Amino acid sequence: MKQKGRYIEGFRTWLQVLNYNKTSIQTYPINIERLLSYMAENEVPNIESITGARIKSYFEYLATLTSQTGQPYKLGTLRVHLTTVKLFAKYLRETGQGQIDVPVQYCGKTDYKPAILTESEIKTLYESIDDNLLGIRDRAILAVYYGCGVRRNEGANIRIKDILPDRNLVYITAGKNYKERYIPMVGQVKKDIIEYLTIARPSLLNKEKHEYFFVSYTGHKMPHQSIYGRVKDLLKKAQIDKPVGLHGLRHSIATHLLHQGMKLTDIARFLGHATLESTQIYTHIEADTNKDNNSKQDKKMRKPKYTFSAEIHQELSKLENHLQEKKYNVHTIRQYKNCTGIYLQWLNETKQEPAEVTYKTVIAFIEEILQTYSLNHYKKIIVAIKHYHDSLSEAINPVSGIYIKGQRRAIINDIIDYRQLKACYDHFEVLDDRDKRNKLILSLMIYQAVTTEELSILEPGHIRLKEGKIYIPAHDKINSRTLDLDASQMLGLRNIC
């Protein structure tokens, strides 16, 4: 194929500019070289001649190949090749070198499950840390890679100015595709980071001068290979025999957060995932972990905690679909299904149909379960059956309006008034284009009350400069709305768009 080398080197440079990691920069061009060689062998003269049918033919060819072990390519390997080809198509499109249609899709689950540490193993890892300067740095490494869940290169490229203790945040600037995000830094994580910053780092730095957060014993920037080495040393010392590295710590915190009830969408935002597809793997990890734990605790056939009839399970599947649409995680869905099963079992015993339930029926059910379950448990049951009746699309939910006395609610305090907010905006220092953008974001948050979640889903098409308005799409339980912009905001948005 003509100019094959130019395409490959151009693609490699494009990946470097977009801040892809070194492994991707090495591997993806090799995959594209294989694609272009295949096309040349099949007498495809140029990029313009690569059709969707030929791309399909290429992936059929890949499926016939075997790995170094003599086994056929696994689904995960084929998906990596598909990701590479799609990325190459994007490169060609964005650089004006042509269009490639990639009508290939792989369904099903891969066998790959990343190794993770359990919460008790994380505790053991911390306990293995020495009480010295390098130990303080080791705690900071775990705080950043486990506590903050950052990627390998993101952690290695954190600078001093990215640590924002007054705001309890870590600012990530070296993410994939140069995407930026803020990560919360609280509790022990914050304590370990600040202790390293104020005690260990100045001593390790010695006479060297640079802004990178992690410092080697020679005072230079600590490369990610050295950080990985420290984690491996800790694992060996803690006698944890698992193939876990820096990314394994990231997988571990994501799985633990999911197990603790955090929504999948919030975990995706925490990790910096562009789509939920990347985050879905943790639902499978958690399910497998639960299976392993159950088998270790009791290898005998055990009766499940909740046993329901087939009819009730059919009703619970409606609730499950409803909760999945609302992006609840698997742990919460399982809890709500069990709680609703108790309710449906009671309806069966009292010979009542769900569609005929009234407010009085629900009160009668509550009075009965008060004798059996704790206060917290029956509060969960009430929330669960509210969702169940919502899933039935009834005109009036018989559970709505039922609230439990003594329920604790968060009280908002230390609210900043309008004068303070305006002063915050007026005194925001602008030194470069990034500051201009951040000040514009601040103005939208102050004057239009736009949330960070809403900012993350804004698209260029939502900005209506001719009308002097901005459209905020609906999300979660918030309706869409159209807001007025002032002149300074319009000017700032025009420069960005």
Q: Which phi and psi angles does 393 have, rounded to 5°?
A: 55, 45
Q: Which phi and psi angles does 220 have, rounded to 5°?
A: -85, 170
Angle, in degrees to the nearest 10, between helices 246-259 and 330-349: 20
The CB-side HSE value for 26 (13 A sphere, CA atoms) comes to: 3
Reading across the β-sheet that carries 469-472, which strands appear in turn?
A: 463-464, 469-472, 481-484
d(CA 121, CA 127): 10
- DSSP H/E element including 80: helix 75-94
Give the other-Cβ count within 10 Å of 443's Cβ. Answer: 18
Q: Give the angle 185-221-227 at the CA atoms, nearest 5°.
A: 65
**H helix count then E strand count, the chain:** 21, 6
Which residue pairs, CB below 8 angstroms and at least 24 apart, start in 331-335? 331/258, 331/259, 331/260, 331/261, 331/286, 332/261, 335/380, 335/384
Closest CA to 85 of 150, 29, 135: 29
Residue 115 near residue 244 (C-beta atoms within 8 A): yes
In the block, tokens 């202790």 appear at 195
Residues labelled as active-site residues: 151, 176, 247, 250, 273, 282
In the block, tokens 């609730």 appear at 319
